[in-house]
């Protein structure tokens, strides 16, 4: 891991810096093997897991969680001080609703309004005819297309789809 970021966590009453968030994200994502950011890991694992709960969090959700954890540690470490200097709750992944503090889970729309439908086929053949819903929509088959995975002839460039998932992680 590049640099030591652990000492910058909970170090002061200021919000976390971008480089610290980025390094913590890289550390967490290493748990999912060889990915740079959480969104990359999500797009790679999308379709390979049975339940969405098994996907890593989006970069947005992970960073908010890191901020909340850091804030909580700041509170605990300053519990002996009558009026500690703490960062604003709103800068640390929390929101105040009806006089209650609740975690802010995401800052982005869960699925963007511009999100096109994901086309998935269930061909039993090679996906080489217009009966294949993916081919009919002029898109390549993806991991979710079953059972054509092994014998698919429509597995061309899925780069557009992977770019879409990186930009707009699903769920």
Q: Do 69 and 21 form a contact (C-beta atoms < 8 A)?
A: no
Identify the band that residue 101 occupies on the pLDDT scale cut at 50, 70 and 90.
very high
Q: What is the pLDDT of residues 117-135, one digit of tens each?
A: 667 788 877 788 878 888 7
Helix (H, G, I), strand (E, B) or coil at 19: helix
How far, in Å, CA of 109 to CA of 123, rounded?
Answer: 32
What is the reported pLDDT for 41? 80
What is the reported pLDDT for 9? 63
Average pLDDT on 18-31 reads 85
- Exposed/middle/buried for residue 111 (C-beta within 10 Å: 0-12, 13-18, 19+): exposed
Token pair of 20, please?
């610290």
How far, in Å, CA of 125 to CA of 157, rounded?
Answer: 19
Q: What is the pLDDT of residues 149-163, one digit of tens each?
A: 567 777 765 444 444
Closest listed residue to residue 42, CA positions, set 55, 25, 53: 55
Least confident range of 1-10, 53-62, 96-105, 138-147? 1-10
What is the reported pLDDT for 128? 81
Q: Quick check: 1 pLDDT over 50?
A: no
What is the reported pLDDT for 36? 75
Q: Do 139 and 119 form a contact (C-beta atoms < 8 A)?
A: yes
Report percent pLDDT > 70 for the chain. 69
What's the chain's length in residues?
A: 171
């Amino acid at each position: 891991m590049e640099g030591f970021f652990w000492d910058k966590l909970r170090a002061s009453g200021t919000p976390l810096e971008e480089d610290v968030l980025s390094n913590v994200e890289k550390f967490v994502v290493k748990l999912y093997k060889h990915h740079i950011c959480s969104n990359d890991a999500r797009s790679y694992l999308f379709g390979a897991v049975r339940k969405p709960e098994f996907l890593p969090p989006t970069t947005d959700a992970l960073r908010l969680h890191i901020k909340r954890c850091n804030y909580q540690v700041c509170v605990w470490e300053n519990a002996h001080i009558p009026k500690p200097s703490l960062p604003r709750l709103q800068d640390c992944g929390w929101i105040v609703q009806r006089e209650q503090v609740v975690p802010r889970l995401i800052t982005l729309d869960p699925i963007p309004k511009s999100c096109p439908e994901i086309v998935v086929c269930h061909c039993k053949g090679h996906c080489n005819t217009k009966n294949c819903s993916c081919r009919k929509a002029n898109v390549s088959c993806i991991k979710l297309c079953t059972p054509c995975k092994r014998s698919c002839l429509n597995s061309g460039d899925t780069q557009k789809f992977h770019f879409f998932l990186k930009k707009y992680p699903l769920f």
